[in-house]
């Protein structure tokens, strides 16, 4: 079984790393290039950079930032935000991104997933899904959580897999930034219903939450932001902790 991955996420707005709670109360927490370099040196397995307002503001993620990030990293990194066509993906991949994350544009035009996968391979396409649990189930949102789509989490994830995405990045909007643990039940159902990797996002507040995630679900990776940004969790120490819990990680 592949080692579980630990993935810091850097939400970027206007060239700065920011963080909020349940997609609101956004605050500046640092320079994305320097933070990425630090995480790379500390032993993160991958990084995810998401331009959180690009889709809402109808603009593109800056390729110059991607080039600066690539020049300072020695681990894979995924870039998302404002990717609406094959040309957007090409620009970011050529700037140095290892994978492309699609979200809002893929909901509006699902063929985008097929197109990127067909031209670059499934391993280059991550389908990011932001969903909120409501009375009728898990509803998918786009534009940084601003617009409800009418899509259901599990159906949309399966469609993404069928269209060729290489992994699913699922963020629970109910849990995002709350630091009370991941959406374990939904994540386990999602990971067991798919044959591609699932990255869990939303809710990490302690190293125990990571252990609960990996022992209580079949997810492949854990993504977190604020606990790493504010140095509440040390990545090497947490990996040692997980290893002692019998969870395979790269040390």
Q: Is 188 a catalytic residue?
A: no
- 55 pLDDT more than 50: no
pLDDT of residue 64: 85
Q: Is the pLDDT of residue 59 over 50?
A: no
Q: What average pLDDT does the segment 94-112 reach? A: 96
229-236 contacts at long range (C-beta below 8 A, 24 or more positions apart): 229/8, 229/17, 229/19, 229/29, 229/30, 229/35, 230/29, 232/205, 233/204, 233/206, 233/207, 234/42, 235/6, 235/8, 235/39, 235/42, 235/43, 235/44, 236/42, 236/43
The pair phi, psi for residue 208, each rounded to 5°, is -65, -30
User: Which residue in 130, 176, 188, 220 is the catalytic one?
Assistant: 130
The lowest-confidence range among 59-68, 105-114, 125-134 is 59-68
Q: Is the pLDDT of residue 61 over 90?
A: no
The predicted model scores a pTM of 0.91
* Domains of the chain, each with CATH number or no CATH: 5-244 (3.20.20.70)
The whole-number pLDDT of residue 178 equals: 85
Exactly one of 11, 88, 176, 188 is catalytic; which is it? 11
Would you call 88 a catalytic residue per the annotation? no
The pLDDT tens digits for 12-32 are 876 677 654 444 445 556 788
């Amino acid at each position: 079984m592949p080692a579980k991955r630990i993935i810091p996420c850097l939400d970027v707005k206007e060239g700065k790393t920011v963080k909020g709670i349940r997609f609101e109360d956004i605050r500046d927490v640092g320079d994305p290039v320097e933070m990425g370099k630090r995480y790379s040196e500390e032993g993160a397995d991958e990084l995810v950079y998401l331009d959180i307002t690009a889709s809402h503001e109808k603009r593109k993620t800056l390729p110059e930032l991607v080039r600066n990030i690539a020049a300072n990293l020695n681990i894979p990194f995924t870039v998302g935000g404002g990717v609406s066509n094959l040309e957007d993906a090409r620009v970011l991949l050529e700037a140095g991104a290892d994978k492309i994350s699609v979200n809002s544009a893929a909901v509006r035009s699902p063929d985008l997933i097929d197109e990127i996968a067909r031209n670059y391979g499934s391993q280059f396409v991550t389908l990011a899904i932001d969903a909120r649990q409501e009375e009728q189930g898990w509803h998918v949102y786009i534009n940084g959580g601003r617009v409800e789509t009418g899509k259901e989490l599990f159906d949309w994830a399966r469609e993404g897999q069928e269209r060729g995405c290489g992994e699913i990045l699922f963020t629970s909007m109910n849990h995002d930034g709350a630091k009370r643990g991941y959406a374990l039940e939904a994540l386990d159902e999602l990971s067991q219903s798919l044959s591609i990797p699932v990255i869990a996002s939303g809710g990490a507040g302690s190293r125990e939450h990571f252990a609960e995630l990996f022992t209580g679900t079949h997810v492949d990776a854990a993504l977190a932001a604020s606990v790493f940004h504010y140095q509440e969790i040390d990545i090497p120490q947490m990996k040692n902790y997980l290893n002692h819990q019998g969870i395979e990680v790269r040390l």
